[in-house]
Amino acid sequence: MKLLGQNREPLWKEEFSVFANDERYVSRRQFAKFLVLTSFGMLVGNVWLLLKSVFLRKEQYPRQAIATVADLAVGQSKTFSYPTADDRCVLIRTGERRYVAFSQKCTHLSCAVYYSRDENALVCPCHKGYFSAQDGSVLQGPPPRPLPRIVLEQVGDALIARGVQVNGGSQS
Ligand code: FES
């Protein structure tokens, strides 16, 4: 004789489905659907970021007159501040119609570089770092990167700074 309730399943089995393993099983179709939806979501996100960067691009740097062509003879230099008063830069007239400008902050330990006409280079006095006066590239010494270059534009007789180029990348 069996007692009432002796054949009943244990309580835990009643509360947890016996098909739990089947329910956890993810079919190939479900997995593919998940991948497609996730990829689509990422695609939409990336397209949104791309459109935002193209259409909502703000000019990060001001346009600022820094000199006139008559201010410098060939081989002369002049310091100025750009884009903020704390960012010292140097403008060099390297040719009759050629002007270049660079940040004065050395890419090694941030000492101020100066233009040496005799060596036709930008020199850092702290550890004898040398940069090309043509393109700001490192010629000698410990600096790891070229000097940031100031993007210039000539409007009439005025030289206008309108951006900063770091390591060849443009930020204007
Ligand atoms: S700080 Fe310019 S070379 Fe070291």
- The CATH number covering residue 159 comes to 2.102.10.10
Q: Hey, whose CA ends up nearest to atom 1 of ligand 1?
A: 109
Where in the sequence is the domain holding 39, given as residue range(s)? 11-55
| Mean pLDDT value of segment 5-15 | 68
Of 20, 38, 55, the domain-final residue: 55
Of 35, 55, 75, the domain-final residue: 55
Most confident among 15-29, 46-60, 95-109 (mean pLDDT): 95-109
Q: Are 140 and 107 in contact (CB under 8 A)?
A: no
**Cα(154)–Cα(144) distance, rounded to whole angstroms?**
31
Please tell me the pTM assigned to this model. Answer: 0.67
Number of structural domains, the chain?
Answer: 2
Could you identify the atom of ligand 1 that is nearest to the CA of residue 111? 1
Same domain, 167 and 87: yes
Q: Ligand 1, from 90, 105, 107, 111: best to mutate by most atoms within 8 Å of Cβ?
A: 111
| Mean pLDDT value of segment 113-135 | 95
Same domain, 41 and 111: no
The answer to the question of residue 6 being in a domain is no
Model confidence band, residue 128 (pLDDT cutoffs 50, 70, 90): very high
**Cβ-based neighbours of 37, under 8 Å, separated by 6 or more:** none
| Mean pLDDT value of segment 93-116 | 95
Residue bearing tokens 């960012």: 87
| Mean pLDDT value of segment 28-34 | 88
User: Has residue 18 got a pLDDT over 80?
Assistant: no
Of 55, 72, 89, the domain-final residue: 55
Same domain, 23 and 82: no
Same domain, 49 and 117: no
The answer to the question of residue 5 being in a domain is no
Report the SS3 class of residue 81: strand
